[in-house]
Amino acid sequence: MIQGLKLDNNQLLACDPQKAQVLWFSKPDAGERRLLLERFHLDEHAVASALDPDEISRIEFHPDALFVIWKRPENYSGKDSFSFDVSSFGVLLSRDQLVLICDDEQPLSALGAHRPLDQPLDILLKLLFNNIHHYLGHLKVIKMVARELQQKFNSSLENRHLLQMFNLSESLVYYINAIHSNGAVLTRLRNHAQGRQYAADSLALIDDMIIENDQCYKQAEIYSTVFAGLMDARGNLVNNSTNTLLRKLTLINVVFLPLNLIAGIGGMSEFSMMTAPLHWWVAYPALLLAMLGLGAVMVWGLRKMARAA
């Protein structure tokens, strides 16, 4: 699907794609991909990279345009899995037009809420800036979810909560990788902007993005380290609880094992029938001596096998 947008009073308004300053390719089909290849001179790899959720962020400079692959956080669904995903989208920026390629229908509204939008470059910078704030918002949500899981851990040691904490930790690893690669893109974009003598406000905005992206990266690293420690601590707590339970069960077995042995020996009606000609005070002591002798032979044999090994 292709949507055309134009700048009007610092806002993006829908318009005819033929006259649009912003072309938004959402889930492009074969014909739209062919248009990207022929009209905008993108290659197959660039288009596929823009639609690949696992593609790493990068920026390419051309004589009359630049092409950016950017990692962004997916909208959090709030399901029990507590999984935060990332995906990629591509942006082709020329002097008078911006082409956005993505695999979903994420809206571009409210980009001009805090900063005027006068040219396609402003749209690109604001889009990247909003994505950085999106990461920061998700990190706050992750912190809140982690606190909720800790409270659940205090009242219950179910594996479900441990798996949810693992999902959070895994999501943070993906976030750290995405934010780090985005930081490399911003650094190269800053050098390019300085060489092309971009406006002072654009350079200042790129500097702000670099700072906030770096803060976001460090915050994600801290959360990842804390969650890894929490998972180890919770795992040890579960193991200690299991060991305590097994210790209690072992104690119960030790207490009742002699009773079971006495009840088993005393209740052997077949043995009493087989030894009927003998007195019980002869048959049962003989059985106990035979059992002790067999146990001693087994201990001796096992020790000999252990020494031989």
pLDDT digits (tens, 9 = 90+) for 247-299: 888 888 877 777 677 677 667 766 666 677 777 677 778 878 888 888 888 88
Domain that includes residue 156, residue range? 1-237
Say whether both 224 and 115 belong to one domain.
Answer: yes
Has residue 106 got a pLDDT over 70?
A: no
Say whether both 264 and 131 belong to one domain.
Answer: no
CATH number of the domain where residue 207 is located: 3.30.460.20
- Domain end (from 221, 237, 253): 237
Percent of the chain exceeding pLDDT 70 equals 87
Average pLDDT over residues 18-24: 84
Give the H or E element holding residue 262.
helix 200-266
Say whether both 136 and 178 belong to one domain.
Answer: yes
Backbone angles phi, psi at 113, to 5 degrees: -70, -30
Say whether both 183 and 298 belong to one domain.
Answer: no
**CB-hemisphere CA count at 13 Å for 17?**
10
Contacts of 120 (CB under 8 A, 6+ apart): 21, 22, 93, 94, 95, 96, 97, 98
The verdict on pTM exceeding 0.85 is no
| pLDDT for the residue numbered 181 | 94
β-bridge mates for residue 23, sequence order = 4, 99
Say whether both 28 and 89 belong to one domain.
Answer: yes
What is the signed CA dihedral for 173, 178, 180, 184, rounded to 10 degrees?
Answer: 160
Q: Which amino acid is at 160?
A: R
> Could you report the per-residue pLDDT of 29-52, keeping only the tens digit for each?
888 888 888 888 888 888 888 888
Say whether both 229 and 117 belong to one domain.
Answer: yes
Q: In 3D, which of 257, 276, 255 has the Cα closest to residue 265?
A: 257
Has residue 192 got a pLDDT over 60?
A: yes
Sign of the four-CA dihedral 28, 33, 37, 43: positive
* Burial degree of 110 (CB within 10 A; 0-12, 13-18, 19+): exposed
- Domain end (from 188, 216, 237): 237
| pLDDT for the residue numbered 175 | 92
Categorize the per-residue pLDDT at 2 as very low, low, confident or very high, splitting at 50, 70 and 90.
confident
Diameter over CA atoms, the chain: 115
| pLDDT for the residue numbered 183 | 94
Q: Which amino acid is at 19?
A: K
146 vs 58: which has the higher pLDDT? 58
Say whether both 193 and 298 belong to one domain.
Answer: no
12 vs 106: which has the higher pLDDT? 12
| pLDDT for the residue numbered 113 | 52
Say whether both 224 and 134 belong to one domain.
Answer: yes
| pLDDT for the residue numbered 293 | 86
Say whether both 180 and 211 belong to one domain.
Answer: yes
On average, the pLDDT of the chain sits at: 82
| pLDDT for the residue numbered 1 | 80
Percent of the chain exceeding pLDDT 90 equals 17
59 in Cβ contact with 68 (< 8 Å): yes
Give the H or E element holding residue 39.
helix 30-39
**CB-hemisphere CA count at 13 Å for 143?**
11
Say whether both 296 and 154 belong to one domain.
Answer: no
Instruction: Name the residue with tokens 């060489």.
Output: 195
Say whether both 187 and 267 belong to one domain.
Answer: no
- Domain end (from 237, 261, 289): 237
Name the domain count of the chain: 2
Categorize the per-residue pLDDT at 154 as very low, low, confident or very high, splitting at 50, 70 and 90.
low
146 vs 61: which has the higher pLDDT? 61
73 in Cβ contact with 134 (< 8 Å): yes
Has residue 163 got a pLDDT over 90?
A: no
Say whether both 86 and 113 belong to one domain.
Answer: yes
Has residue 245 got a pLDDT over 60?
A: yes
Contacts of 92 (CB under 8 A, 6+ apart): 40, 42, 65, 66, 67, 68, 98, 99, 101
Average pLDDT over residues 54-83: 83
